Every structure is written in structure tokens, then in C-alpha cells.
């Protein structure tokens, strides 16, 4: 082989080695450059996102500051308005103070004028005071007397009402006794049959009387109850009445032993039933209603 050819072959071999080395270096540098480029791009995107977030936050803060500025502006306007109002009020108060001073001077003058009049009237007031005291004492005595008379009149009226009720009850008893005597077939007072019938408890004749139980007292001899009606409704002693509860639940009977104008006291008869008691606000009827 020719020497030049050998040199060229050697040169080509060297170039091949150099080219291979450059190719390897390029491949290595290209991967690193690509990685760095991707990293730079990601950082750029991150910085861009951060910048956009910062811009958005700044916009929100700017809006909040603008809102605060508007609020402060409104407060400033209110404060200016209050200052103006206070200034107007101060001016008005100053005018009132001046007027008050003038009024005070006028009042001092009037006081000076009235001082002499007061001195002259003091003696008259003393005389009037004594006269008023005497009249007050007379009025108090008259009032006490009037109250005593009114109380006496009320007492007499109550007594008259009680007497009228008792008279009416006696008349009704007399009529009932006459009726019982006629029913018994005899009219001779004092007969044994008539006396027995007159002493037995009788239901009230006339309109239905409805009362309620006000109080219940348990005694060894039986229960006593106080009902809300009395002689004003025609009730009298030895009247037989009936106690019911709820929807016409029969509880027992009661015979009145004491009758007052507006209430009565009676002895309860439960007819030997156990577990049944009379309670407050139970209804008491002069007779049992039939439906």
C-alpha cells in the first residue's frame, strides 16, 4: 500500500474516533440540555403561576382597600355631618344661654317685686292654714261618720237580705209542709206520719240549682262538704242534693245541715260504697236530670 494511502487511512481512523467522541459528547450534552430546558420551562410556568396568584391577591387586596377607602370616606362624611350638626347645636345652645340669662335677670326683678308681696301674704297664709286645718279636721270627722253610717247601712242591708232569704225559705218550707201533709192524706199538724215525712230530707222543688264543691272535710262521723250556693238560690237545711262528676257520673248525695246566703254545708252519703270520694269542684245538683 502506498504511504499516502496509509496516512489517509490513519487520518480517517483518527477522525472516526474524534467523531465518535464528539457524537457521544453531543448525545450526553443534548440530554443534559434537554433536562435543563425542561427544568427551566417548569420553573417558568411555576413563576408564571405564582405571578398570576400574586396578581390575583393584589387585586383582592386592592378591592378590599378600595372598599375600606369607601367606608372611611362615608365615615368621614358622617363625621363632617355630625360636626356641622354639633356646630349648629352649639350656636342654638349659645342663643338659649343668652335667653336664659335674660330670663334670669327678669326673674330676679320679679322676685324682688314679689318679695314684698310674699311678706304681706305670709300673714294671710297663716290664717288660711289655720282655717284649712280646722276644715280638714271637720272633713275627717264627717268622713269617718259617713263611713260608719255606710258600714251600718251595708250591715243593715245584709241583715235585711238574709232575713228576706230566710223568710222566703220559711215560706217555701211552709208550702212544702202543706204539700207533704196533703200528700200524706192528713192536715192535722203534729200527727206522727206528718212529722216523720217533714223530717226526712227532701229535694228542692222548683228550678234546677247547680253548685260546685268548694271544700271537703273528712270527719269520724262522715265527710262534710261546702258548696257554692245557699239561701240566695232557695236552698235550706235538710235539702237533699246529688253529687256528680264528669259525664253525669253519680258520686253520692248530700244533706244540707247549714245554709248561708252564698254557700252551704252538708253531710255526704256515699251509700256504703268504698273507693269513692268527693273531690273539690265536683258538681252538686238539686235533682238528678234525666235525658
Domain ranges in the chain? Answer: 202-285
Residue with cell 246566703: 261
CB contact at 8 A, 166 and 231 = yes
Q: Is 209 exposed, middle or buried (0-12, 13-18, 19+ CB in 10 A)?
A: middle
One digit per residue, pLDDT tens: the chain, 291 residues?
577 788 888 888 888 888 888 888 887 887 788 888 888 888 888 888 888 888 988 888 888 899 999 889 889 998 898 999 999 999 999 999 999 989 889 898 888 888 888 888 888 888 888 888 888 888 888 888 889 888 888 778 767 766 766 666 666 666 666 666 655 554 444 444 344 444 688 888 888 999 999 999 988 778 899 999 999 999 999 999 999 998 788 999 999 999 999 999 999 998 888 888 999 999 999 988 755
Cα–Cα distance for residue pair 241/201, rounded to 1 Å: 9
Which CATH fold would you assign to the domain 202-285?
Thrombin, subunit H (2.40.10)
Give CA separation, 174 vs 170, 187, 195, 278, in Å: 6, 13, 13, 32
Amino acid at each position: 500500500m502506498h504511504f499516502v494511502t496509509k496516512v489517509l487511512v490513519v487520518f480517517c481512523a483518527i477522525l472516526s474516533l474524534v467523531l465518535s467522541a464528539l457524537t457521544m459528547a453531543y448525545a450526553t450534552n443534548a440530554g443534559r440540555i434537554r433536562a435543563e430546558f425542561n427544568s427551566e420551562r417548569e420553573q417558568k410556568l411555576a413563576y408564571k403561576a405564582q405571578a398570576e396568584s400574586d396578581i390575583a391577591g393584589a387585586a383582592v387586596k386592592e378591592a378590599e382597600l378600595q372598599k375600606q377607602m369607601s367606608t372611611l370616606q362615608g365615615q368621614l362624611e358622617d363625621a363632617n355631618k355630625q360636626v356641622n350638626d354639633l356646630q349648629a347645636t352649639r350656636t342654638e345652645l349659645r342663643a338659649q344661654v343668652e335667653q336664659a340669662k335674660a330670663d334670669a335677670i327678669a326673674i330676679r326683678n320679679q322676685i324682688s317685686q314679689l318679695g314684698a308681696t310674699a311678706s304681706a301674704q305670709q300673714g294671710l297664709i297663716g290664717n288660711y292654714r289655720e282655717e284649712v286645718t280646722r276644715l280638714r279636721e271637720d272633713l275627717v270627722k264627717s268622713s269617718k261618720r259617713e263611713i260608719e253610717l255606710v258600714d251600718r247601712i251595708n250591715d243593715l242591708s245584709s241583715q235585711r237580705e238574709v232575713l228576706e232569704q230566710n223568710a222566703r225559705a220559711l215560706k217555701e218550707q211552709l208550702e212544702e209542709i202543706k204539700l207533704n201533709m196533703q200528700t200524706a192524706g192528713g192536715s192535722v199538724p203534729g200527727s206522727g206520719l206528718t212529722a216523720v215525712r217533714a223530717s226526712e230530707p227532701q229535694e228542692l222543688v222548683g228550678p234546677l240549682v247547680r253548685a260546685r264543691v268548694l271544700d271537703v272535710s273528712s270527719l269520724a262521723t262522715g265527710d262534710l262538704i261546702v258548696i257554692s250556693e245557699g239561701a240566695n238560690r232557695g236552698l235550706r237545711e235538710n235539702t237533699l242534693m246529688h253529687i256528680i262528676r264528669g259525664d253525669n257520673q253519680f258520686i253520692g248525695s248530700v244533706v244540707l245541715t247549714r245554709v248561708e246566703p252564698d254557700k252551704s254545708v252538708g253531710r255526704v252519703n256515699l251509700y256504703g260504697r268504698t273507693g269513692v270520694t268527693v273531690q273539690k269542684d265536683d258538681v252538686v245538683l238539686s235533682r238528678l236530670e234525666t235525658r
